Chains A and B, each alone.
Chain A
Amino acid sequence: MEIDQYLGVFIEESKEHLQALNQNLLELEKQPENIGVVNEIFRSAHTLKGMSATMGYQDLANLTHQMENVLDAIRNQQIKINPDILDIVFDAVDSLEEMVLDIESGGAGTKEVSELVSQLAAIESGEAPLQAAAAVAEEPVSDTSGLILDEFELAVLRESEEKGFQNFYTKVTLREDCMLKAARVYMVFEVLESLGEVVKSNPDVSQLEDEAFDLTFEVLLVTQEPKELIEEKVLKVSEIDAVSIQNFFIDTYKHIQDEGQEEVTASVDEKKVEETTIEKKAQQSNKTIRVNIERLDILMNLFEELVIDRGRLEQIADDVKHPELHETVERMARISGDLQSIVLTMRMVSIDQVFNRFPRMVRQLAKDLGKKIDLQIEGAETELDRTVIDEIGDPLVHLIRNSLDHGVETPEVRRELGKPETGTIKLKAYHSGNHVFIDITDDGAGINRKKVTEKAINNGLITKEQAAIMNDNQVFSLIMQSGFSTADTISDISGRGVGLDVVRNTIESLGGTITINSEEGKGSIFSIELPLTLSIISVLLVEIQNEKYAVPLSSIIETAIIPKADIMHVHNQAVIDFRGRVVPLVSLKEVFQVPEVKEETDYYSVVIIKKGDKSAGLIVDGFIGQQEIVLKSLGNYLTEIFAISGATILGDGQVALIIDSNALIK
């Protein structure tokens, strides 16, 4: 089908819009008065509706359509936002997300949404006018709706209420093709005046006469006649599309207005917050184009070719000693240096991509756990290589869940401890040197050292003697050992058997490290340190006979030259005593079956590598030096090669293989 070619774009954009929906809904929850946010949400929903209808996903389109209606009503201040409405809208977004994911995995994107649709429809129609009055009250500066009653009008209404009159809030909608709006208004007013007394209209009478309104106007009417009669009579006026009449109670109005005023004062405090969000928005709306990551890879490859040739050219220029050639080559080198940094930064994406799903997740989890959580995000604009971004999401989800579940206490406990009921989880990302740091800080219970050591001893991870001499950091890192969970009860959120050890493994496989700091009763900090990019890593180049191999620096403890005589054997395994530890030796020559061309010497060059707490010594023939290299895959054809994780191209254009040291440690 022709549409297939747009499917990828559709999924990609749908996801973006869903993300925007989630984000803006959370924003709206914080500041329900912010019509700008509603507009954003409306736009996303609207686009989503259009796209899904075009692509023929009917359920998706139906649900977004109904959601759009609700949002439109909110936007036009016919409905006042409340947590119930937001919950339903959130549910709707969840369903949308499920459908999009279904489409992505090849499904038809269908889902039973009729209940949600009807819920949304109920919101849209239910109690709208009364709520509108409320919205009006909360937006005193807005000129679109000015149903603000002064003392006099209130007095009139109160008096009429006491005398047994009824106050009706009447909303009249003219037909779209209505030609003489002012005339119709006049006729409606005449009808209304004949039935009772018009206390207030919005817009006011002079504006109505000038036709300075869209299609609807609102009137407060004091009358003794029944609703139905008023409705019937008003509808007799031609070119009237709809009339809705609701009882109007002063008490409700006042109550809502008071609330509104409170919120007005509150919003002054929020002004600063709003300003920063506006700033952020401006940043996000930078003009971008979508580029396939493959093309960037190709660009990178071509660029590396260029760098290798540049090296050769420099060599030639040096040999020839031609000043003009030399000058040109130098300039080219400078330009290609700039180009290199641009190519590298092009592959960088902001960590916001990962962070932006957390507010939603935390909201839900906090609800499920009955905890109050304030999630603060800092440094979402920090950039990381695409490859790292793709991998870091899951570990972070796990850590945040962990903080929520085991870290932050329930509101009751917190109150008893004299802490604010709302716990804080802070997510902070920042650059430092060639690394990116991500800190997850909570002000929860912290880690109980005693509990951890007891459990570790029970599980046979450490001995009592070891426990006594371990420092806090060592103890805390125990919770990242496999099969460790300190929560007394296994909960659905994070205690599912797969513990923090998975997190640590993932982070280490990315060439990063994770450390834990904690103070009991005050909270914990999980700090992740990650390399900026996975495509460029630091390695130690080593020689094995005539072949060159690269060992990632991240897995090297140190290098050493060891006399042959120092080698001992345990169960046929060559080992050395290295700084008081027995370290097994691995001959890379044997592992890689390197053809022998050199004579053996009396000394071995050994690279000591680590994997978690284990270590091993790799016997090589010589160290060449440390180098930054570009990581390349061996392609689809050569997969699963033992102890080789990839390849790189050296300055002379030759390929060197990168050793997967993890595979060499049993």
Chain B
Amino acid sequence: MGYSGARGGLAAILAAEDLVRSARDRGPQPWAGTEQILARFRLAVDRVMGEAGLYHEATAADAFRQAEGDPLEAAHLVRAHRSTLPRIAVSEPVDPDEMTVLRRIVPAHRTPDGPQLLGRTSDYTGRRLERPDGPPDPPAGGLPANGSATPARTAAQRHPRRFSALLRQADLLVDHPADRDDEPFDIIRRPARPGAPRSAVLASMARAETGALVGLWYRSVLGPDGHIHEVTLGEVRHGRLPLRVRHPHTDAPVTIGEFRVTETEAIEDLDEADEDRTRFDLGYGLCLGHNERKAIAMANLDIACRRFGRDGPLEQLLLLTTDGLDSGGFLEHLKLPHYVTFRSMVERKQAMREQREVAAQPTEPLGRDCR
């Protein structure tokens, strides 16, 4: 009862909600404040912002707490929240060259223009589990004024020239005719289907579930199909970008804040008969927050989709199967009652059995549907 039985369904739902709330919010441990979550769970918050497609750290942190740390559930909360909000402005186009880098590496070159800036990362730290009893002691001699042990970087070092600029200078990159400067495809307002422009694929990937993108990429490496190349990374960056909107009165662009993104450029070898084999091409990835796995998978899948997406299944896979809310939601719907559809299936099984006058193996119908 309560699942689909007599009235009392609502009481059962409220009781289930209460169990979550009381265990989560009124347990014996101190309350995890928004600031606390932002400071301790930066990467989780960034992942929620990226998969939700909404950049607001405090909102994502609150969702993360409410979702008990489930990033997909948190992204759902943020997206459903955004559905309640009117769109009051559209930002000016963002120029990634304006990025103030916090981290930047160029795997394709030993000494690129500008620094290889490791920044805040545990990439090079041994993955050893630490089991401290409490907060670590402050370092001897105290922290330097800027909170970091390394000297401050110059403005030039924070805005390094792209490695791809060097490639372009050496005439090693395919020169794509400049795309028409169309409005980007707005995947929030229009459903993107195969045949959609590149901006729709990029937007879908930027908002995709991280694991879905990485899985799709890896499927080509060790799965039974796919021919996505392993790219060489020209640029992996995490940094801050200014956000500008036009002032409603003066119509002048006004910077209203900053947001962090991860950006990747992937260098692709071209080896198809109809491609320029003397040059490389570039795949591009950019997502909200610090999420390098996602940005790298995105850049690699971007160039793969431009090369093979329309001829094969990749474009449909990227546009329609990588959204975590879509795939997760459809999976979760299996938990709903299905006894009407199941009864109908049972009836057909019995009808088929009645028709078994002729000895032949019944086979699977050609078309199978989801219910």
Partners in one complex: no
